[in-house]
Every structure is written in structure tokens, then in C-alpha cells.
Amino acid sequence: MSGRRIVPRAFALPRAFSRAFPRAAPALTAAVLATVLAAGCSSPDAARGGEEGTELVRGEPAPSAASPYWVDPNSDAARQVRTWERQGREAEAKMLRRISGRPVADWPAWDDPAPGIRAAAESAARTKKTILLVAYNIPHRDCGLYSAGGAKDADSYRSWIGEFADAIGDARATVILEPDALSHITDGCTPPEHHAERYQLLSEAVDTLKARPNTRVYLDAGNPDWIDEPSKMAQPLRRAGINRADGFSLNVSNFQSNERVKAYADRLSDAVGGSHFVIDTSRNGNGPLSGGREDAWCNPPGRGLGTPPTTDTGDDRLDAYLWIKRPGESDGTCRGGPPAGDWWPEYALGLARRAAS
């Protein structure tokens, strides 16, 4: 990801990014990856939000299982619905309510997370809902590639995560902690000289966030198409403090099916003492794009919304299906998309039309 930040209201959000890309060769440079992406980013059908002939006609959002999470009334999707209604595009507006009417994660600002978190917490408190947040600011983030950036050093990160936690206060919150951070250690992308510091910062972040009375914390553990053997993630999770967290998250910004992710999660949970987990289902309704991995992560055509956010999972260790990735935000300029993190209404509409439920 480019590191671009978008400000939709009080938030400056780092969004769609290359963390979901399961790197086949960690030694690839950014230049090589850019070349690969350029070769696969020319689908005209994708620029219209999907593959021709695959878009299904749907109506109002289907009733979803109970969700305790806050729905942002001023999300990009909600504003798009209002815009289309003013323009008389009632059918599209109705379809997009499949996104605007459901809770998605907020990604607080890299420089000043507190104002946005407080605004969300205050809004959520009025309806006794839980805010869903992603902490994504670890130093040396994304190995200097598309989501390059993060806090400038360890002390800056400690200050940032402290502000993050203080802003949550006593509010009900669920935090997904540092997507990619452990997977990039495991796949060799993060240089060894940064490993010890990263483990220490993640472990401290777990404790800082868990000191808030109503905050749940899930350490990110990648996806089964990235680190294909779950046992490889067990030791990194333990070193990062999984025993003090509420569990781990999987499939953030990726498209792997619920069945595959749950099978992987069960094995990983067994390897770390029975930890609970959550799964990102924001765009996995049709599973991953077939073909090479290099082409599958960035604005893949034909994808659909997955299981709506809910804590009613029917699985004792699966705490929730969540929309952690914000559906409708671009993964990057491939396949006719806008810059990473920008709202792309046509792609959002395609996801909604092909929703799994």
C-alpha cells in the first residue's frame, strides 16, 4: 500500500493494503512486485466492479444475525447511499445498504488516533454498542512495501498505542492488533534485527489495551494462503502475548473461504492452548480469485461480501465474524482502481450485488 491516509470524518485511516498478499518469495523487492502487479491490473470488467455477467440482482440487506458492534452512520458507504438517493439512483442505493447498514472496523489515525476513537466511542455508547478498531502502526510496517510506514521507533509506538488505549477508556471495544506484523516475521519479510523489538512492542500493546476494562484484543495471525502451516504461527503468537490476549484474527483483507479459515484456525488454536479467534469475512463470499497469488489480492474481480458481522457463530472458539477490511476501499491502482485506501463505489456495489447473504 502507498501509505496514503484518507480522512472521512474524525479519522485518518490507513486502509486497503498489501498485507493480504501471501508473498511467494519474501526476497522480492518492491520494484519486482510493482512489475508483477502492473502486468495483472488491466481488466476492464473489474473497473466496473466485477466480471461481466456475474453480478446478481439483490434487494434490501437480508436480516443478519445479532451483532453487538457499532455501525458508523457517516461511513463512506453511508455517504454514498445518501448521494445516490439524491441523484435518484434508488436501486444502487438500496443495494449498497448491504454495506452501509453493517458494522465495519475503523482504522484510527497514524499520527493522532484519539479524536476519532473518542467520537466513535461516544456514538456507540448511545446505543450500547461495541466499537471495532484496528491498531496498525508498528515500526517497519509492511517491510517497506505498499503499506510502508508505521511509527518511527519503539518509543513513538509506545506513545501511540498508549493514546489509542486511553481514548478507548471504559468504552466497549474490540481491537485487531497489528495486521501483518507476526506473519511478516514468519515469512522472513521483516529483517531479523527487528524481530525482538516487534515481539516486545506487541506484547506491551496487548497489556496496554487489556488494561482498559472493556477492551478485547486479537493478535493478527495472517491467513492460510500466506503462512500455510499453522504451527509456524504458534511460537510468534506466544512471544507476542497470545496468552494474555483474547485470541487471534485471521483473513484480514483476504478472501479465503470460511471453511478453509476455520480449519486452519482450529489447528492454530490447538497449537497455542485453545485460544479463541475472529475471522474477517468482509469480502470472502465467493472465496479467493483462482489463479496465481500475485493477481489474487489486489481488487480481484467477481468477489462478494461474506458472512455479515456477528458473534452468533455456532463455534465455541470462533468469537465473531467481522468486517475488518472496509469493503469498497481500493487495494491499490491495479485493475482500474483508485489509490490504495480510496473509496471505490463501483467495486463496493459489485461486492454488494454478489453478497453471500
Residue 204 — left, alpha, or beta (φ > 0 → left; ψ -120 to 50 → alpha)?
alpha
pLDDT digits (tens, 9 = 90+) for 253-286: 999 999 999 999 999 999 999 999 999 999 999 9
Q: How far is CA 195 from CA 13, 184, 191, 201, in A?
A: 26, 10, 7, 10
* Angstrom distance (rounded) from CA 80 to CA 97: 10
Find out whether 278 and 322 touch, Cβ atoms under 8 Å: yes
Instruction: List active site positions.
Output: 142, 180, 331
pLDDT value for 16: 34
pLDDT digits (tens, 9 = 90+) for 58-106: 334 443 446 899 999 999 999 999 999 999 999 999 999 999 999 999 9
pLDDT value for 57: 33
* Angstrom distance (rounded) from CA 162 to CA 167: 9
Pairing of strands 5-6, 277-280: unpaired
pLDDT digits (tens, 9 = 90+) for 154-201: 999 999 999 999 999 999 999 999 999 999 999 999 999 999 999 999
Full-model pTM: 0.84
pLDDT value for 239: 98
pLDDT value for 297: 86
Average pLDDT on 318-338 reads 95
Buried/exposed code over 309-345 (b: 16+ C-beta within 10 A; e: otherwise): bbbebeeeebbbbbbbbbbbbbbbbbbbbbebbbbbb
**pLDDT of 245 strictly over 60:** yes
DSSP letter string, 90-101: HHHHHHHHHHHT
Find out whether 123 and 78 touch, Cβ atoms under 8 Å: no
C-alpha cell at 302: 467477481
**pLDDT of 242 strictly over 90:** yes
Q: Which of 47, 19, 17 is nearest to 347 (CA)?
A: 47
pLDDT value for 332: 86
Across the chain, mean pLDDT equals: 84
When pLDDT is cut at 50, 70 and 90, the band that residue 32 belongs to is very low
pLDDT value for 26: 33
What is the SS3 assignment for 165? Answer: helix
**pLDDT of 48 strictly over 70:** no
Share of the chain above pLDDT 90, in %: 73
**pLDDT of 302 strictly over 70:** yes
Q: How far is CA 6 from CA 2, 63, 222, 225, 326, in A?
A: 12, 31, 24, 29, 13
Any idea how long the chain is?
Answer: 357
**pLDDT of 24 strictly over 70:** no
**pLDDT of 340 strictly over 90:** no
Catalogue the long-range contacts made by 153-159 (C-beta closer than 8 Å, 24 or more residues apart).
154/197, 154/200, 154/201, 157/201, 157/205, 158/201, 158/204
CA 341 distance to own-chain centroid: 11
